[in-house]
């Protein structure tokens, strides 16, 4: 009987020992899992912060690229908005391995897209800089050509040497003078006011290959010594400009130098005044040449 009691006591001790061992193992494992969970959560928070930082850096790079363009690049703006949406989504997402990995994959995709877009943007910037340089060079060349052309016109050089870069007709060798008209039609130049039958205005239309051939017209204005516009003395308006003209000089331009002469008659029963006369030629409302002469 005593042996059986001892045997039961030993068995109970063994069972208790096993239970205690299992409890200790379970407690240790639970503690380890808790610590591992805390460490994992900390790592996930750190990883999430890193991904957020990288996404914010990407957004800043897009902001810089967009600010450097006078005209916003639509592709850059759209890509920046996608990154901002991903940042907002990540900030409120759960801290899990699966969730974080999904965002990291999206980040890597956006990184590749950004590399391509910024490379394309840099290429466009270089092309725009080259274009701007080319335009500046062209502007300088046009300004130099304008100065050169004005100098030639001022010196009344030969018409064959005049090259106009603007698609506008101009005149050179403008002259006005009095003439005596014989019954035969012969014209005799004169400087005497009382002998002058008509005032003859002659000029040359300078060749300009940029102007299409066809019927054209200039407005001739002759101002007498009393500052009156003689001839028709009619008005025409060009936008905000009002022009009084003596006659309309019409001609057919055929892409070559063209000599044109016109006549202005004094008012009925009146003679031409003595003194200085000014002759102006207008293309629309723009003065293209001027000259003067004197009748004694």
Going from the C-alpha of 86 to that of each of 93, 115, 219, the distances in angstroms are 10, 18, 69
What pTM, to 2 d.p., does this model score?
0.45
Largest CA distance in the chain: 175
Q: Residues 61-106: pLDDT tens digits?
A: 767 776 666 555 677 777 778 777 777 776 666 555 455 556 666 6
Alpha carbons 158 and 62: distance in angstroms, whole number: 59
Domain boundary assignment for the chain: 2-128, 166-295
Sheet of 286-295: strand order equals 247-253, 214-223, 275-283, 286-295
Report phi then psi at 51, rounded to 5: -65, -40
In total, the chain counts a number of residues equal to: 296
User: DSSP alpha helices (H): ranges in the chain?
Assistant: 2-67, 74-91, 97-154
**Between residues 268 and 261, which one has the greater pLDDT?**
261
CB 251 within 8 A of CB 258: yes
Q: What is the mean pLDDT of residues 49-57?
A: 73
Choose the CATH number for 166-295 among 3.40.50.2000, 3.40.50.720, 2.60.40.10, 3.65.10.10.
2.60.40.10
pLDDT of residue 57: 77
219 token code pair: 């407005």
CB contact at 8 A, 291 and 176: yes
The string of pLDDT tens digits covering residues 185-210 is: 899 999 999 999 999 999 999 999 88
């Amino acid at each position: 009987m005593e042996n059986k009691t001892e045997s039961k006591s030993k068995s109970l001790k063994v069972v208790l020992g096993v239970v205690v061992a299992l409890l200790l193992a379970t407690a240790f494992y639970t503690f380890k899992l808790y610590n591992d969970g805390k460490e994992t959560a900390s790592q996930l928070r750190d990883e999430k912060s890193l991904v957020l930082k990288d996404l914010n850096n990407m957004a800043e790079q897009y902001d810089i690229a967009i600010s450097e363009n006078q005209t916003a690049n639509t592709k850059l703006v759209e890509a920046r908005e996608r990154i901002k949406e991903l940042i907002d989504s990540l900030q409120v997402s759960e801290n899990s391995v699966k969730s974080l990995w999904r965002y990291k994959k999206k980040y890597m995709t956006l990184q590749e897209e950004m590399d391509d877009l910024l490379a394309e943007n840099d290429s466009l910037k270089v092309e725009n800089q080259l274009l701007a340089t080319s335009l500046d060079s062209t502007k300088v060349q046009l300004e130099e050509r304008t100065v050169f052309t004005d100098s030639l016109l001022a010196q009344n050089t030969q018409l064959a040497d005049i090259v106009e870069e603007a698609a506008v007709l101009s005149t050179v060798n403008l002259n006005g003078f009095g003439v005596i008209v014989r019954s035969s039609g012969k014209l005799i130049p004169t400087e005497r006011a009382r002998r002058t039958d008509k005032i003859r205005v002659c000029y040359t239309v300078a060749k300009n290959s940029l102007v299409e051939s066809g019927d054209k017209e200039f407005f001739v204005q002759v101002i007498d010594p009393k500052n009156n516009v003689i001839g028709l003395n009619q008005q025409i308006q060009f936008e905000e400009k009002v022009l009084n003209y003596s006659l309309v000089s019409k001609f057919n331009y055929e892409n070559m130098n063209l000599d044109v002469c016109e006549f202005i008659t004094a008012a009925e029963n009146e003679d031409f005044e003595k003194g200085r006369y000014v002759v102006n030629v207008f293309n629309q409302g723009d003065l293209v040449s001027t000259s003067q002469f004197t009748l004694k």
